[in-house]
Chains A and B, each alone.
Chain A
Amino acid sequence: MTLQLFLFFIFAAVAVAGAVSLILQRHPIHSALSLIVVMVALGGLYLLLGAEFIAAVQIIVYGGAIMVLFVFVIMLLNAREEERTDFSRMARWAGLPLAGVFLVEVAYGLARAGSRFPPAANAPFSTRELAGLLFRDYVFPFELTSFLILIAVLGAMVLARRDESE
């Protein structure tokens, strides 16, 4: 077993464990921590795939900013553990197995589609080329996303402000 395969299994196991923990945890802060673990594991997987810059962006933006936002909101809203209600019989006997079937089907379909590709070279991708693509070929969407972020920030500020007048 090569080092790459070994590392892949470790990161994959951590990611799946984090995702399962996200489902099973009752307190949202624990779910948030599990999701952070998934993000970091995915960052490791991106590094294995040679996408260095995307791995760093994943950890900085997703793990270090978006999830911080989630954790802040959970703290501000003082979220508590979910109440213990039993699943309806329909959900427990039909829902979960069907969800499992869906999962297996998606994974199998994707894996079969991927098997048609030849194993690719292992050199890491160049950040300089990625920057060239972003700033030359895809500069229009890039500038649009900056507008999008501006609108999102303004919208979030307006929505979350307490109305002093009313």
Chain B
Amino acid sequence: MVPVSYYLALSGVLFGLGMIAFVFKRNIISIFMAIELMLNAVNLAFVAFSRALGQLQGQVFVFFVIVVAAAEAAVGLAIILVVARNRQTLNVERVDSLKH
């Protein structure tokens, strides 16, 4: 019998690791993948709570998060494609033409 807090701790650890990746990676696609990792960590927390409370609403929410993440990935990657085509680079630090 695994206590629910173990799952929640793991969810927190994954979220933190996703955040570290988001802050420290320079490739735009890697940053986007870190966002997906954070979303997955939140999904894990939702499912863990769904088991703890015995309700299915947590899983309904997970379903919607997955669907919205799919839509977001599609549009985000299209934007990345356009930016990469225009700037010829995938390094976020080079996309700085608004900086003075």
Contacts and interface: CB of A to CB of B under 8 A. Distances in A.
A156 B77 contact: yes
Given A95-B24, A111-B6, A134-B63, A102 B16 contact: yes
B43 A159 contact: no
Contacts of A58: 43, 66
Nearest to A24: B21
Given A156-B74, A159-B75, A49 B47 contact: yes
* Main SS at interface, chain A: helix
Nearest to B81: A160
A102 B56 CA distance: 30
Contacts of B79: 159
Contact of B59 (A23, A54, A110): A54
B4 A149 contact: no
Contacts of B27: 28, 31, 79, 82
Nearest to A46: B47
B21 A22 contact: yes
Nearest to A107: B12
Contacts of B32: 70
Interface string B63-83: 110111111111101111110
Interface residues of A, number: 85
B77 A69 contact: yes
Interface of B: 1-21, 23-27, 29-30, 32-34, 36-37, 40, 43-45, 47-48, 50-54, 56-57, 59-60, 62-64, 66-75, 77-82, 84, 90-91
Given A8-B2, A145-B64, A156-B74, 13 more contacts: A19-B13, A20-B17, A51-B50, A54-B59, A62-B70, A66-B70, A110-B11, A111-B9, A115-B4, A152-B71, A155-B78, A156-B77, A159-B81
Interface of A: 2, 4-5, 8, 12, 15-16, 19-20, 22-23, 28, 31-32, 35, 38-39, 42, 45-46, 48-51, 53-54, 57-58, 61-62, 65-66, 69-70, 73-74, 76-77, 79-80, 82-83, 85, 87, 91, 95-96, 99-100, 102-104, 106-115, 117, 119-122, 125, 129-130, 133-134, 138, 141, 145, 148-149, 151-153, 155-157, 159-160
